[in-house]
A and B are shown apart, each in its own frame.
Chain A
Amino acid sequence: MTTAYRHWEILERSTTGPFMDEDDFLPRRFTPTLKKLIKKYEIKYDPANPCPTDDAMADRIWQAAWDLFREVGYYNTDSHRIMQVSDQEIKEALYMANDSYLVGAGKDAVLFEHRQVEDSKTPFCIMSPDITCDEQYHQSICMAYLKEPLLDGICGPILEKTFGHLIESAGPSEISGCIQHIYNQKMAARLLGRPGTFMVAVGTAEHDSGQIAVSDDNWGVQKTDARLVGSLTEFKTADTLLNRSLHYAQYGSYTGNLTGAIYGGWCGGSEGTAVTTVAYSLIGLIMHGAIFNQHFPFHLNYGSNTTRELLWAISMAGQALSRNSNLLYTSNGFANAGPMTEMVFRETAVHAMVSTVSGWNLWEMASTRNKYRNRATPMEARIGCEVGHAVARQGLTREQVNEIANKLLAKYEDHAADAPIGSEYHECYDVEKAVPTQEHYDMFRRVKDEIADLGIEFPY
């Protein structure tokens, strides 16, 4: 929470703000305002350049996002009222926001920092499969991610069952599953000798009760960890979400705001997706007291963000945030293809290079459209974070990244709709040892060499 004393003033607006029928909020308020602002600020998508270099447009996107948030507000679906803030309050919150936070504990604590466009500072790397997994693989998958050298933070896979019981949101099985989730993750970190690793947890909690149940500095989510609070598409919240941000602030852990503007949905095309994504960072900061924003804009049909219309939006949103604020925000990749396919490695590499050079920190990588159980592995995150480090250390420009991204896009973008779903975790990892199979590693190495040939100088 940047300004804790404001939290109650903001929450109060959920009961005192202007009334609006929920059916009218998106079609009558959000979308028309967004369309008006896109026109006013002359924001235009350029399909030839998935990693554009238009600084002036980045600044206009920032201004459009500011206006969008101020004019539209944030709708509470429980109270049917709109929470609005003033320019003055936005300015105050931005002034008070830190540009870095020390997260994690002890020797494993790491600095999570704001980045510039074309920054030589390497991105902060949060690794996450983002998907659900079978209970029997949960511990192993946590171990496998925590073995990744470039991991700065982890968000573990989501449990579907707890001790054989199907987890139901808001029911007792969810509370049990959430506790099991954090135990597995913390135990994996301890066994691997990095017990203070920064964690974003727990993804198994869909309901506020699940999150609240794991707040414990001894065995649960610690105050040096972070938790996420989501928004409802688009610009909507609910009491169960506001409960979370208040609890996180009162408990004392870090808050991250989780949002995915939908390309093709209420925000329309790439222009609206970029503006909405930037506006969500302001929502996270002011409505939820988030220290970072975790953005995953995605394609309505594919459920991914590695095609050029999404890459453009990601790049422009990152540049807008980087040039005009000192906020922290991670770019969460969603690939079409599944693990142990060449396509998923290429998709992740492109997502990471475009994000990194545009000022983002990284959150890699939801594979297989984030849809299929057990279909994500640390190898996708590995290539993304290695590419991110290389792009930053090498000092690549947006023009250079744009050229490389276009070459890689040519190899996969026609297959977005029929991407291969690849393999499940246990088919491409040794589950007991939590290491990739030789076949999986060889494929990773092959694609990494291909990317190196395009001009990415990997440090190792």
Chain B
Amino acid sequence: MSLEELSKLVEDGETEEAEELAAKLLKDGSDPLLMIEELTKTMGHVGDLFAKLEIFLPEIMLAGEALSGVVKVMEPYLDAAGGQQVKGKVILGVVKGDLHEIGKNIVGLILETNGFIVKDLGYDVDPLTFVKEAEAMDADFIGASSLMTTTMPRQKEIIEILLDKGIRDKFKVIIGGAPTSQMWADEIGADLYCKDAKSTPDALTALLA
């Protein structure tokens, strides 16, 4: 039983087996920080395969589930070893009036597997809910996705509410979705336009630097 085998189980989305093996490795004295570092590399590899569509969405979702399961098993050990490094806290959702969430789900998964804490509000989310949830979480980012041109204005409304409440500087607002663009991000004063899921973790990290 080895770390390589654990990586393979996570990559294959075998949640139960991965959890069992992780528990055994930890019990046998494996370094939890080393384990999390290795599993992060594994998810990076899975993310690369998905970006090239050498695997598809169900496979990366299963791998993400397996990783979440393993991280849960590891939590007490990670806390004892000094805790996990959290890169940032993100409120994520699809804006009001929009029911399409596949892109948002992919971004959420990629962020979570890259060290971000994500609270997913789902779809059809009121602009004020984004703001209230971000305040409650003390989030670093508000991520708002839109797939329809007629729901894009709701991204702008989030920024307007932040301005009206005098808390615009408290959160970085990131936008994405098929009809959105850098031009739209500039027009509404968003901090970042996410052109794809893969580049999002690095882009968010750079924003906080």
Contact = CB atoms under 8 A, between A and B. Distances in A.
Given A77-B99, A168-B153, A206-B97, A266 B57 contact: yes
B160 interface: no
B78 interface: no
B60 to A, nearest CB: 10
B12 to A, nearest CB: 14
B185 to A, nearest CB: 14
Nearest to A272: B56
Interface stretch (B31-39, B68-76, B144-152): B144-152
A255 interface: no
Contact of A132 (B98, B149, B151): B149
Contacts of B61: 27
What 5 pairs across the A-B complex have the smallest Cβ distances?
A: A169-B97, A169-B150, A206-B150, A31-B58, A268-B56
The listed residue with most A CB atoms (<10 A of its CB), out of B97, B150, B178, B181, is B150
Contacts of B196: 301
A166 B160 CA distance: 15
A26 B102 CA distance: 11
Interface string A198-237: 0000001011000000000000000000000000110000
Nearest to B196: A301
A303 interface: yes
A435 B86 CA distance: 57
Contact of B98 (A169, A262, A263, A301): A169
Contacts of B98: 169, 206
Given A27-B62, A31-B58, A371-B179, A264 B150 contact: no
A262 B150 contact: no
Interface residues of A, number: 35
B100 interface: yes
Interface of A: 26-27, 31, 77, 132, 158, 160, 166-170, 174, 177, 204, 206-207, 232-233, 238, 240, 262-266, 268-269, 299-301, 303, 370-372
Interface string B162-179: 000000000000000011
- Size bracket of the B interface: 20 to 34
Contacts, number: 75
Contacts of B208: none
B23 interface: no
Most buried by B among A26, A169, A268: A169
B19 to A, nearest CB: 17
Nearest to A269: B56
A266 B100 contact: no
Contacts of A174: 150
18 contacts: A27-B58, A132-B179, A160-B150, A168-B154, A169-B97, A169-B98, A169-B148, A169-B150, A170-B97, A174-B150, A204-B150, A207-B150, A240-B99, A263-B53, A265-B56, A265-B57, A371-B179, A371-B181
A265 B102 contact: yes
A206 B148 CA distance: 8
Contacts of B150: 158, 160, 167-169, 174, 177, 204, 206-207
B26 interface: no
Contacts of B179: 132, 371
Contact of B178 (A207, A232, A265, A303): A303
B207 interface: no
Interface in B14-43: none
B137 interface: no
A47 to B, nearest CB: 13
Contacts of A77: 99
Interface in B85-140: 96-100, 102
Given A166-B153, A204-B150, A371 B97 contact: no
Contact of B100 (A132, A233, A372): A233
Most chain A beta carbons < 10 A, residue from B62, B96, B102, B156: B102
B13 to A, nearest CB: 10
B51 interface: yes
A176 B74 CA distance: 55
Given A77-B99, A168-B97, A371-B178, A160 B56 contact: no
Nearest to A263: B53
Given A132-B149, A167-B150, A169-B151, A301 B51 contact: yes
